[in-house]
Amino acid sequence: MNNKFVRIGSVAVVLAVLLFLPRLSLAQDTTATAATTATAATTATRNHLYDKFQATLDLTTVLNQSAVRVDGSGNKVGTDLDFRKAFGISGTTVQPRVGLLWKPGRHTELEAGYQLINQKGERTLSNEIVIGDDTVSTNSNIKTKIGMSNATMQFRYSFWAAEQHNIGLDVGFGAIFFNLDLDATANIGSKSISESLPAPTVSIGAFGRWRLGDRWYVRGDARAVAAKVDRYKISIFEGEAMGQYYLSNRFGIEGGFNYTGATLDVAPKSDLKVDRNSVAGKVKFAYGSVRLGVVTAF
């Protein structure tokens, strides 16, 4: 009988110890946490979904698939010119990009960006080409400088603003500054051509930002629009997928992919006259960019 009570008592003691140990451990953890609260508060990982300002500097590998057609006076249709094939422009080039984000409130933010794109090319023409009122003959050696830098401004409003995500409306507007400078040399002489056409951009869509952990963030957006105003017809699609990793509360690195596809079709004036200030034709901006850079939060 005594052995039976001893066994029962032993089991009761073991059960009591097993039940008490987790509570003791929890009490010790709570005590340790309370003792380091002040230090932890100063080193807590920052939620970068709600930074007041962010500045970014990226090197981008631009994958250029753009084309242009510049029409002349009297409804003279120019030649459709693929940048790579017609001008010898490289399909890939490394260019810088800068960005600045300002978040005045929990639900609103503004982001400005400038993607620099300047390229050069050289080749010998196998076919005659027409640019505006100028004709460049076959076998001419052409040297070309093309600029199509892209300035953007985005307004975002978050309908779902939480500690782990921001999801909402994204409205973008800006301009692509297209410039074409061409020098042609042939047996019959030389010729220089210069054309410029700023292409306004407007788009609307949605965006999302997610915090995956203390330091990892991903974001994406997609915007599009199609419109016709006066003699300008434009269609735009813009998209982005990015990831960020913060090394500290202030500095981080980012990488991702952007795509801009914009087609601007400009009809000639009704008087059939085209001058340097009223270019007619069609410009297709189509480029993707692989981005890698640094981000600063403040």
Does residue 173 share a domain with residue 135?
yes
* Cβ contacts of 208-213, under 8 Å, gap ≥ 24: 208/165, 208/166, 208/167, 209/49, 209/165, 209/166, 209/167, 210/164, 210/165, 211/47, 211/48, 211/49, 211/163, 211/164, 211/165
pLDDT for 283 equals 86
pLDDT at residue 271 in the model? 54
- Label residue 8 by pLDDT band (50, 70, 90): very low
- The span from the CA of 252 to the CA of 274, in Å, is 50
Looking at the fold, whether 180 and 270 belong to one and the same domain comes out as yes
If one counts the domains in the chain, the total is 2
For residue 9, give its domain range: 2-41
173 and 275 housed in the same domain? yes
**Average pLDDT, stretch 199-226?**
94
pTM of the model: 0.80
| Exposure b/e, 240-260, CB count within 10 A at least 16 = b | bebebebeebeebebebbbeb
* 26 and 117 fall within a common domain: no
Same domain (yes/no): 138, 257: yes
What does residue 266 show for φ and ψ, rounded to 5 degrees?
A: -110, 115
The pLDDT, as a whole number, for residue 276 is: 47
- Average pLDDT (197-208) is 90
List pLDDT tens digits, range 127-172.
Answer: 999 988 889 999 999 999 999 999 999 999 999 999 999 999 999 9
DSSP string, 242-259: EEEEESSSSEEEEEEEEE
Amino acid (one-letter) located at 235: S
Q: Between 198 and 251, where is the model more confident? A: 251
Choose between 236 and 29: higher pLDDT.
236
Do 169 and 239 belong together in one domain? Answer: yes
Q: Tell me, yes or no, whether 18 and 117 share the same domain.
A: no
Considering only the C-alpha atoms of the chain, give the largest distance between any 2 of them, rounded to a whole number of Å: 124
Task: Identify the band that residue 58 occupies on the pLDDT scale cut at 50, 70 and 90.
Answer: very high
CA angle 103, 109, 113 (to 5 degrees): 100
Going by the DSSP 8-state scheme, the letter that residue 49 receives in this structure is G
148 and 11 housed in the same domain = no
Which CATH number characterizes residue 115's domain? 2.40.128.90
Residue percentage of the chain with pLDDT more than 90: 61
248-274 per-position pLDDT tens digit: 999 999 999 999 999 988 887 765 454
> Do residues 199 and 276 both lie within one domain?
yes
**DSSP state for residue 107 in the 8-state scheme:** S
122 and 210 part of one domain: yes
* Per-residue pLDDT tens digits for 66-121: 998 988 877 788 999 999 988 999 989 999 999 999 999 999 999 999 999 999 99
